[in-house]
Structure 1
Amino acid sequence: MKYNPEIHHRRTIRLKGYDYSRAGAYFVTICARNRECLFGNIVDGETTLNDAGLVIADEWAKTAAIRNEIELDEWVVMPNHVHGILVVGDGGGTARGRGTARGRGTARRAPTIEQFGRPVPGSLPTIVRSFKSAATKRINEMRKTPYAKLWQRKYSLHDNY
């Protein structure tokens, strides 16, 4: 269905004027498109990841390893979404991923100052967008489904954790 502003009332969940490159911990949820169980199943009360789910776990773990400005805290890949606490650093510290398929990285530099209309390195939106893009590319290559959409638009951001 095409977007119609008369019936679809999209509103942002972001705090107006808040700088999402500020140091802090953010609890995010990123859902699969149409909340389909694309990443695995629940078997006997436990999440069992399929190949796509393992790619998601790997890309999430890489998030801190390749982005020096963030750390991963607790995180988990579920059959149709990912929960994670991302810690945007202030330039110091060591990252420790404590989620499913644990990841490690370091936080060494502070994010750059936001510039209107441009992606801000180290900001939460840029981190999430990069993760979603990398995971989508790998899964589409694996499934031989170029340009297939994997994620819902945006992501849920829970109160500054």
Structure 2
Amino acid sequence: MKAFAALGPVLLLALAACPTASPNSPVVIMRTTITPSDTVRMGDSLKITTWLKNPEKEPLTMVFEDQCEVEQYVQTPDKTIVYPPGGGATCISVPTTVRVAAGDSVRFDAAWLPMSAVDGEFIAYGVLSQHQLTRGDRKPELKMGHRSNIAIFHVAPKP
């Protein structure tokens, strides 16, 4: 039982970073890609890109309570969050706004530097924070956070 109690804070961080909502909002499409796409070597950087696409025929405006609009995460094979460092994002409490034109997309980039090779599949994904969403001239709606697809990769030692 003590082992499970010690895992409590880790599990809370993992759940907060990976909302149970559907991977895509009914309004916004999220897609995360990584470079390199299959294996990153220790000491080399993994580039994580999350695209937010507006498939609607009218512009979208998203208002966030802080500067964590879209955050990227990396998890080890045992589900430990290794990026961002410490397992969670640190956001400045300043409201921000993201506008996406009809049919357009916006990009969010991050980079992670693996420090040790661990056998197994790592995953990377993006999380869209809770926000007020306005479509065209309609009244704002509260939208819960959700995550993108996952990108799977391996970490290998330097040759």
TM over 0.5: no
- Which of the pair is proportionally richer in strand? 2
Task: Report the TM-score, using the length of structure 1 for normalisation.
Answer: 0.32
Higher relative contact order (CA 8 A, sep 6+): 2
Structure number having the greater helix percentage:
1
Which of these two proteins has the greater Rg computed from alpha carbons? 2
